[in-house]
Amino acid sequence: MASPRPDPAAAAPGSLAKRTVRDFTFGRILGEGSYSTVMLGTDQTTGQQYAVKILDKRHIIKEKKTKYVNIERNTLNRLNHPLVVRLHFAFQDPTSLYFVLDYAEHGELLTLIRRCGQLPEVNARFYLAEIVTAVEYLHSRGVVHRDLKPENILLDRDMHIKLTDFGTAKLTDSADAGPPRANSFVGTAEYVSPELLTDKAVDRRSDLWALGCILYQLLSGRLPFKGANDYQTFQQIIRHEYTIPDDFSPAARDLVTQLLAANPADRIGAAGPDLAAVKAHPFFSGLDWRDLHLQVPPPLPAPSPPVGPWNGTASDDDEDLIDDSDLFQRLQALPVYEGGGALPADLGSYTLPRPSSSDPPTVSAASPPLRSPPRLVTTPPQPYTMPSYYDPHPSQSSLSYSSTQSPPDPHFHNLHHTELALHEGGKLSQSAQPWTWRGRLALRLSSLCPCICGSRP
């Protein structure tokens, strides 16, 4: 039985005493994104557990993500539904923003699909019905999710869904939606609708397409559109190339077909302001739509044994904003299937701190960006330790060591003292640093024939 929900008016953001970081005890990491970390937080006063999303201000400013953070908070502020994750508190400190959200103990719906392989139709019907109910509520509040996928659908303690991740949502009745961006889209490749790829247009009907992809994935354990890379996936979507497994029931086959209609106007539920047409489909025959969040979900089957590496997910990275004009030009050349609450004001003035001489080495441009560690830890952080093969006396102009690079070959350690002698003598050029192949070659040559590098024997 689902636990009773508190009075919304009493728990609305801003109606309770202001919370700070000191009011919470933080435990394990629940998830990590491109500019955020979600940690399990416990209110020290009530003992209530929450999912605390910690957003790094420095990364938000640097990567120009302020707009999406604003959209996420403004969207959460206008939503209050038992099947949608809820924002309880929001606060900040000098380095981070904190969103205190509902804690879903059973993780992502994708994990359930992976564990079961595919769900029986009775389970898929119940979970799709909850997703449809949540999406219908979003649309009634002027919100288009734009990134519906099993990774963004959580399961709470009673195995009911919680729709989450509104950073790329579109507020259709608000200026936060902003003007459409040329040569860009938001979403995850395997779930984007064809009109988004060809016309760069998005509305509530794009969420209906994603519902079709999710139903297909619930029943089969795999995605309807999945190529070797994003471009091939987009080709499949634009050409409407997918097959429905033979074990789908006639009702399931029909609903998937109507949701995955290439023409947005032909999708079931696209005509009316709500999703009554979807709810009336024979696939949901016999389902009681009243208070789904209070019903007991159908028992789940035993987990399926692993049969090989998982290849049905979209991506492990949640960086869903794609800007690629060349990609869109190639896609538009393909034949199209013609079938039936703002952030605090002081965030804008937040400036990035200037590096000091005691900072760790700067990551080179060729290296992947390092994700900022969580700002809150339960134990003091370990001091930064230089690797044994790191030169402690480089000049500032030649500093190019990256902690993401692999250590040099075993021979390099034996030449460490030779490296220091060469560097102090000024004979090792900036283009032949000791952690590059040129540097290692110069060091070996210097040990065999010192006159080559000009060092004294």
53 is in an annotated binding site: yes
List the beta bridge partners of residue 37: 32, 54
User: What whole-number distance in Å separates Cα of residue 206 and Cα of residue 222?
Assistant: 20
Four-CA torsion 61, 64, 69, 71, nearest 10 degrees: 150
Alpha helices by DSSP H, listed for 300-364, are 325-332
Listed residue (146, 160, 148, 147) closest to 112, CA to CA: 160
User: What DSSP line would sit under 420-433, residue for residue?
Assistant: HHHHHHT-S-GGG-
- DSSP annotation of 59 reads H
User: What whole-number distance in Å separates Cα of residue 1 and Cα of residue 291?
Assistant: 12
User: What whole-number distance in Å separates Cα of residue 402 and Cα of residue 364?
Assistant: 6
Four-CA torsion 128, 134, 136, 138, nearest 10 degrees: -140
409 is catalytic: no
Q: Which of 147, 165, 207, 320 is catalytic?
A: 147
How many CA within 13 A on the CB side of residue 248?
22
User: What whole-number distance in Å separates Cα of residue 360 and Cα of residue 105?
Assistant: 37
Annotated binding site for ATP: 53
Annotated binding site: 53
Residues serving a catalytic function are: 147
